[in-house]
Amino acid sequence: MVNCGLVTEKNEPVPLKSISVEVRVQDHVATVSSTLQYVNEEERPLEALFVFPLPADAAVCHFSAKIGEQEIVAEVQERETARDQYDDAVSSGCQAFLLEESEESPDVFRLSVGCLSPGQNAAVTIIYVTELAVQADHSLRFCLPAVLNPRYTPAGSAAGIVSEISSGCGSVPYTLTLSVHVSSPKPISKLESSCTLDPLVFLHSDHTQATVNLSPGHMFDKDVELFVYYQDTHQPSAIVEAGVTTAPSGSLMRDPVVMISLYPEFPEEVMSSLVTQGEFVLVIDRSGSMDEMMHNGTGAQTRIESAKDTLLLLLKSLPMGCYFNIYEFGSRFEFFYPQSVEYNQDTMDQALKRVKEMTEDMGGTEILQPLKHIYSQPCYPDHPRQLFIFTDGEVFNTKEVLDLVKHHAHSHRCFSFGIGEGASTALITGMAREGSGHAQFITGTDRMQPKVMQSLRFALQPAVVNISVDWTLPDGITVDTLSPPINVLFQGQRSLIYAQLKGESSGGSEGTVTVKYSLKDQPVTNQLHFCLKPTEETGLPIHQLAARTLIRSLEQKERSGDADVESIRSRIVELSVQAGVSSVRTAFIAINKDSRQTVKGPLLQRRVPTHCLCSNCIGPPRRLKKGIPFVIICFACCFACCIPAEPEVTGPEQKIGLMTKVRNFFRCGSKTEASLTAQPDSESMNEAAPDPPKDPLLQLVSLQKASGCWELDATLADVFGKTEDELTNQKPAQVDGSVWATLLALIWLYGCKIEQQVEWQFVAMKAASWIGSQKVGDLSQCVCVGNVLLGCQVTEETLGI
């Protein structure tokens, strides 16, 4: 069997040898410098193509290449112009480098390395800036994507950069080194990572600066996540960054730019009661890739099994009186009900029965059509629509999906969940941003349930309306807000605002930004005072992120066709070139014009593997110019390159799933194509592996009624490790069996599962509300008896009844 991924004619790995990354975190912004070391070990000139992921909201702001002692710094140019220059340079035997952003998905880039002579080394450096997302525990998440899954392409769609992903089985043939420097006005509490880190080193006694390195030997075969914890992260802040004095007068790069981080604090009396209305539409990915494991550790579930457990928890947590529906999608889509139904015991039971039967057998990942169907359904008055979308995010038409979500943003909120390594950040964060919701990523050993429950709390918060942002600045200073209008606010969630400051102050040195909104008919005001003096020298990350924000808005306008497309394209190119940041209309181009010797001989083309699932055979390159010969060596995983992209499987083997067969093929080490079509014999089907032990928490949740109560029976007693007689014999007189069972469930949750409270908080709220509506008698006595029975020490006040 040949090596997986793309190899040379001698069956050797392609020539990317290492990736070295330096990260500078300044408060809420990270500047990332990645250096990729190439070497041409061929006997002929080489062209390498490397398709790789970046964070969706990153602004690429520098690109250079060093060959020997000579460094070539790239320029940002209009895309077609840059492509033509690259083609001409490569065709003429000159060394050239081209960096492009995908037209379909802004989190995918393609780097073309042209005309490396035999034995020649090249170090390519890419620098980008990105915002750090705030997590539920107030940490800031930095993610260095490594995994780029093959994106499912709907029938009839043209392929682009994202279809040129090369495959790799196992580890990639290059390593990663990573160093991180963190600085902030607020003290740094700690840094955590999904990978092994060296000890954190503080550079100052006040803990405002620290460094940490990734432990040696890391193979870059999964995303690297880093979580930065500051003291008082949730406090609002402002960074004012000075402009470039040589930039044109009045331009974005000439004037100071301010980045405001806002954390609205809602009144406690408003947040104490969550809304009980709404239409909840749960959208579940059932494509073949959902059969992948959540992680490689002990007790790992497949993605689909984890999603099913999460659906159970979600369905049990919904409030009585709301409406709900569930959509399943792959190459096609299905729905549980023709339209959303009222949430009650019957509809909940029907839905749970279908959830248990879910498998990952619906082919590819096509999310556009189910979304269109959902949006075609009329909304229920006084029941705001809330979408919960679960996917591993491997789609081709990302921008088309985001435009659809944005078009319907007035009628719903969208909460998105990226499952597993390689989920598209552009898709997951984009759907939440355009749908005025919240995005979550579940990677490594993360549990899906707590993250989904955090989003459900957001969804159940009262809607914020009439949001306005006002500026108070000294005379002579005006402000041009660059960020889109804020149309959603959640308790504890950050909102970023970029603004360009114009003019000269006649005296004052302080500005104020005021955010006003209405919450349950109550007016609320949040204010932040900030100094107009620019922060100490930080480079230009704030300007570059502001330019990126403006460019993204313009790109969306261009796709909508609501304005003069040509003028918008010109403005995108102007901003991109001026700020030196990437866009879909521009590209970075670097040409070694000082090379003394023209490269001779036939040019080999190599595609550098990224770690990903099996993908289709890569199509021909877009270039065949001036008679330069080339060779494409294109191996997907062995014969898997001949398999269509997760077609819909029909017939007797439908339940097996094509991608499951492919994975089983490699796990078993078979080399025959017969493994793809072989049917399991009846004996092996009857010898199914025993079910893993059930999670007691999920067992308890599965027994709860839609109203919030439990029944007193043997299955409930089993969760507690008791018999039904033990529960019944200890029941206080005059207390109903369901009341006693529900009270015991609450005591068990608070006494035995308090560390998972975020998962069962809504289940407990429903239970406490239900008990409160019943005649209990002496509640204190019941709690005392329940504590003794279950071995807990829960107070009556804790239960919230």
Over residues 40-69, the pLDDT tens digits come to 777 887 777 777 778 878 899 999 988 878
- Token reading at 765: 């709220």
Residues of the chain with CATH 3.40.50.410: 275-460
Q: Where are the alpha helices (DSSP H) in 561-669?
A: 565-579, 658-668
Residue 231's nearest CA partner among 258, 210, 259 is 210
The confidence score (pLDDT) of residue 417 equals 92
Residues paired with residue 179 on neighbouring β-strands, in sequence order: 22, 213
Whether 490 shows a pLDDT value over 90: the answer reads no
Binned at pLDDT 50, 70 and 90, residue 596 comes out as: very low
The confidence score (pLDDT) of residue 6 equals 33
The whole-number average pLDDT for the span 593-616 is: 47
Grouping H, G, I as helix, E, B as strand and the rest as coil, residue 337 is: coil
Q: Which carries the bigger pLDDT value, residue 419 or residue 633?
A: 419
Read off the pLDDT of residues 735-781 as tens digits, 9 standing for 90 and up: 999 999 999 999 999 999 999 998 999 999 999 999 999 988 789 99
Binned at pLDDT 50, 70 and 90, residue 671 comes out as: very low
Whether 655 shows a pLDDT value over 70: the answer reads no
Cα gap 250→253, rounded to integer Å: 8
* Segment holding 395, helix H or strand E: none
Asked if 209 and 186 touch (Cβ cutoff 8 Å), the reply is no
Burial class (CB in 10 A: 0-12, 13-18, 19+), 664: middle
Whether 280 shows a pLDDT value over 90: the answer reads yes
* Residue 500, C-beta contacts closer than 8 angstroms, at least 6 positions apart: 252, 255, 256, 257, 479, 480, 482, 546
Cα gap 771→245, rounded to integer Å: 68
The whole-number average pLDDT for the span 506-522 is: 85
Cα gap 543→551, rounded to integer Å: 12
The confidence score (pLDDT) of residue 616 equals 32
Residue 117's nearest CA partner among 512, 599, 503, 560 is 599
Lowest mean pLDDT among 173-187, 287-301, 370-384, 688-702: 688-702
Binned at pLDDT 50, 70 and 90, residue 684 comes out as: very low
Whether 102 shows a pLDDT value over 90: the answer reads no
The confidence score (pLDDT) of residue 634 equals 26
The most confident of the ranges 495-504, 666-675, 710-719 is 710-719
28: left (phi over 0), alpha (psi -120 to 50) or beta: alpha
Binned at pLDDT 50, 70 and 90, residue 184 comes out as: confident
The confidence score (pLDDT) of residue 601 equals 39
- Looking at residue 219, the DSSP 8-state letter turns out to be B
Residue 408's nearest CA partner among 382, 371, 440 is 371
3-state secondary structure 517-566: EEECCEEEEEEEEEECCCCCCCCCHHHHHHHHHHHHHHHHHHHHCCCCHH
The confidence score (pLDDT) of residue 149 equals 52
Cα gap 578→544, rounded to integer Å: 10
Binned at pLDDT 50, 70 and 90, residue 292 comes out as: confident
Binned at pLDDT 50, 70 and 90, residue 334 comes out as: very high
The whole-number average pLDDT for the span 383-398 is: 86
The whole-number average pLDDT for the span 269-279 is: 72
The whole-number average pLDDT for the span 724-738 is: 92
Binned at pLDDT 50, 70 and 90, residue 486 comes out as: confident
Residues of the chain with CATH 2.60.40: 257-273+464-533
Per CATH, domain 275-460 is 3.40.50.300:
no
Lowest mean pLDDT among 167-171, 286-290, 516-520, 645-649: 645-649
Q: What percent of the chain has pLDDT over 90?
A: 40
Binned at pLDDT 50, 70 and 90, residue 656 comes out as: very low
Query: Does the predicted TM-score (pTM) go above 0.85?
Result: no
- Looking at residue 398, the DSSP 8-state letter turns out to be H
* Residue 302, C-beta contacts closer than 8 angstroms, at least 6 positions apart: 290, 291, 292, 293, 294, 360
The whole-number average pLDDT for the span 215-229 is: 81
Residues paired with residue 227 on neighbouring β-strands, in sequence order: 141, 192
Binned at pLDDT 50, 70 and 90, residue 650 comes out as: very low
The average confidence (pLDDT) of the chain is 79
The confidence score (pLDDT) of residue 537 equals 67
417: left (phi over 0), alpha (psi -120 to 50) or beta: beta
Q: What percent of the chain has pLDDT over 70?
A: 80
* Residue 108, C-beta contacts closer than 8 angstroms, at least 6 positions apart: 51, 52, 53, 54, 101, 102, 148, 151, 161, 162, 426
The whole-number average pLDDT for the span 368-377 is: 95
Whether 595 shows a pLDDT value over 80: the answer reads no
Cα gap 151→261, rounded to integer Å: 34
Cα gap 312→160, rounded to integer Å: 38
Asked if 303 and 292 touch (Cβ cutoff 8 Å), the reply is yes
What sign does the dihedral 158-160-162-168 (CA atoms) show? positive
Which residue do the tokens 């073309």 mark? 112
The confidence score (pLDDT) of residue 478 equals 93
Whether 215 shows a pLDDT value over 80: the answer reads yes
- Token reading at 10: 């001698």
Whether 799 shows a pLDDT value over 60: the answer reads yes
Read off the pLDDT of residues 9-38 as tens digits, 9 standing for 90 and up: 444 545 678 889 999 998 889 999 999 888
Whether 306 shows a pLDDT value over 80: the answer reads yes
Angle at 49 between CA 45 and CA 52, to 5 degrees: 155
The confidence score (pLDDT) of residue 175 equals 75
Q: What are phi and psi of 741, to 5 degrees?
A: -60, -45
The confidence score (pLDDT) of residue 549 equals 93
- CATH architecture of residue range(s) 257-273+464-533: Sandwich (2.60)
Asked if 108 and 102 touch (Cβ cutoff 8 Å), the reply is yes
Lowest mean pLDDT among 545-554, 583-592, 598-607, 645-654: 645-654
Binned at pLDDT 50, 70 and 90, residue 594 comes out as: low
The whole-number average pLDDT for the span 145-165 is: 52
